[in-house]
Chains A and B, each alone.
Chain A
Amino acid sequence: MGGRLKNGLLLAPGLGWLGLFMVVPCAIVFFFSFFERGTYGGIEYHFTLENFRRTLDPLYLSILLDSGRIAALATLLALLIAYPAAYAISLAPRRRQSVYLFLAILPFWSNYLIRTYAWMVLLNREGIVNRALASLGVIDAPLPLLYNEFAVVTGLVYNYVPFVILAVYASVSRIDPALREASEDLGAGAARTFLRVILPLTVPGVVAGCVFVFVLSIGNFITPDLLGGGRFLMVGNLIYDQFLTARDWPFGAGLSMMLIGIMMALLFIQAVMVNRNAAVRE
């Protein structure tokens, strides 16, 4: 059996499956986004750019911008929590690092719905956080912690912190300890060493973690649905509604294409930044 043929046979089932059940479905959504909705919810095959124009209507544009703002906020907070944690793990003795890292990733492997529901229990008016604050005398009346932007951001940060820890650790753990020592031997303090040596070398991990969190947050459905209480809309909820409630598939398809566009742009920026970083290191 020739090498190329054998290789082709190994690749064929997987690429075929991804092609048929991912690329073709996404192509269909792309295709739908250029047509009109039918009177009874089907697709009317008249070419139009109306679906893309509508995503820029003030109503929908504000949902898109809100989603972007919330995703950016969640990304920033997740990074601020995860970076020092990843750094702390890299300072531990080698043998223990994998245990610490495993413990940081483990929650990610539990059910997303359940992790989100846990925050509904913690944050509701009668919930544990409000009760604790009340019994400490910090507050008189329960704080509105649930069904708002605060709850959505908290849920997103909670769910995606493990990703960022993993991504940043991947970069931090590759740094040669000799570099840190060299910097300190040359008279740089801990802060200077961190800012001038460690931080620049972890840019690829930071960017990878941030892109991941941002993309998964801006297209999230469960978190705004449950912790936003349905009162708070993000693009993911809007797409859900277009497909299941409003039955305007072409508009839902247009919104999905916007999300894919944002995702591809960010991945492109990430690739450029990682390449530049690699070039600087050469």
Chain B
Amino acid sequence: MKRRDGKGGGGLLRMAPGVHLGAVYAFLYLPILVLMALSFNRAGLPTAWGGFSLEWYGKLAHSDAILSAAANTLIVAVVSTLLAVAIGTLLALGVEARKAGGALDALLFAPMIIPDIVLAIALLSFFTALQFTLGLHSIILSHVVFNIAFVCAVVRTRLKAFDYSIIEASADLGAGPFTTFRRVTLPVILPGVVAAALLAFTLSVDEFIIAFFTAGAGAGSTTLPMRIYAMIRFGVTPEINAMATLIVLASFTLVFAAQRVNRGIIGG
């Protein structure tokens, strides 16, 4: 983002914001790019380059522990996203129609700002108090909590630009509430709903602490982030770089798709 009108000393000053922004992007992306480069490193060590290799990707594809964790993650993410999209969209419609602020807004904001560890131990305490058996289903119930808040926030930004008079127009023309929703409201908010679904899916795939606390003791409910944590914490294996690369690329693709279907949802 160089300025065309830069001249002499003033030019340098005018370029400063652009230079700073470039440095910030380098800071944000270099660590991720380093991991990606290392995933193709035959040496398997983060320190020395031993030539290009796809060996670690092959190892990944043959690891039962990783594949079953990936399958668990997909189940949790798909089910929690579907539930959260249905519930969160209804919630957004209800909240926007009544224009109430205060306590309701605080409640909807809470899951996004409450420390993960606190929500995690709270859910563990809750499930324990109810003597609820833990497993993938308890992870799903828990992930829906933050995903509802998230879907609701994304759909609400879409509804803010919504002209409610077209709902009245639809009703005046004789459409029932269901027809109005299907033919008028839904098409308007659909890009927001799809984007929210993609983002909720991404959040669920990446979530670690809440899953860790609500998964229970059985190895059968280990998710991918739980496996990654164990790999990092108890002896780093080179496959982790390959897995990190795949997961980061998948997240970036999903978020990019969300941005495309619903322009301007993530900022600008």
Binding site for B on A (CB under 8 A): 1, 3, 6-11, 13-15, 17-18, 21-26, 28-29, 32, 81-82, 84-85, 87-89, 91-92, 96-107, 109-115, 117-122, 124, 126-128, 131, 158, 161-162, 165-166, 169-170, 173, 190, 212, 215-216, 218-222, 225-226, 236, 239-240, 243, 249, 252-253, 256, 259-260, 263, 267
Contacts and interface: CB of A to CB of B under 8 A. Distances in A.
28 contacts: A14-B87, A14-B94, A14-B152, A17-B87, A22-B110, A22-B122, A25-B126, A84-B20, A88-B17, A89-B21, A96-B1, A102-B266, A106-B252, A109-B252, A111-B228, A111-B244, A113-B229, A113-B232, A120-B232, A122-B34, A131-B47, A162-B28, A218-B115, A221-B115, A239-B118, A239-B121, A253-B121, A256-B122
B215 interface: no
Interface in B50-88: 86-88
A126 B48 CA distance: 10
A256 to B, nearest CB: 5
- The DSSP consensus for interface residues of chain A is helix
A95 to B, nearest CB: 10
Given A18-B107, A101-B268, A260-B114, A7 B232 contact: no
B29 A107 contact: yes
A25 B123 contact: yes
Contacts of B114: 22, 26, 260, 263
Given A97-B268, A114-B248, A120-B232, 5 more contacts: A13-B86, A101-B267, A109-B202, A113-B228, A256-B121
Contact of A259 (B115, B126, B225, B240): B115
B25 A29 contact: no
B125 interface: yes
Given A7-B97, A107-B32, A256-B122, A112 B20 contact: no
Given A10-B94, A88-B17, A122-B31, A21 B248 contact: no
A158 B32 contact: no
A21 B35 contact: no
A165 B142 CA distance: 29
B119 interface: yes
Contacts of A87: 17
B141 A32 contact: no
Contact of B31 (A22, A119, A124, A219): A119
B117 A21 contact: no
A3 B93 CA distance: 12
Closest 5 CB pairs of A and B: A219-B115, A98-B268, A14-B91, A10-B94, A88-B17
Contacts of B189: none
Interface in B215-268: 225, 228-229, 232-233, 236, 240, 244, 247-248, 251-252, 254-256, 259, 263-264, 266-268
A127 B47 contact: yes
A1 B97 CA distance: 15
Given A28-B122, A121-B38, A226-B233, A102 B28 contact: no
A152 to B, nearest CB: 15
Contacts of B20: 84-85, 88
A110 B29 contact: no
Nearest to A221: B117
Given A14-B87, A126-B47, A212-B113, A114 B244 contact: yes
B90 interface: yes
B76 to A, nearest CB: 14
Nearest to B102: A271
A193 B85 CA distance: 45
B24 interface: yes
A240 B144 CA distance: 22
B149 interface: yes
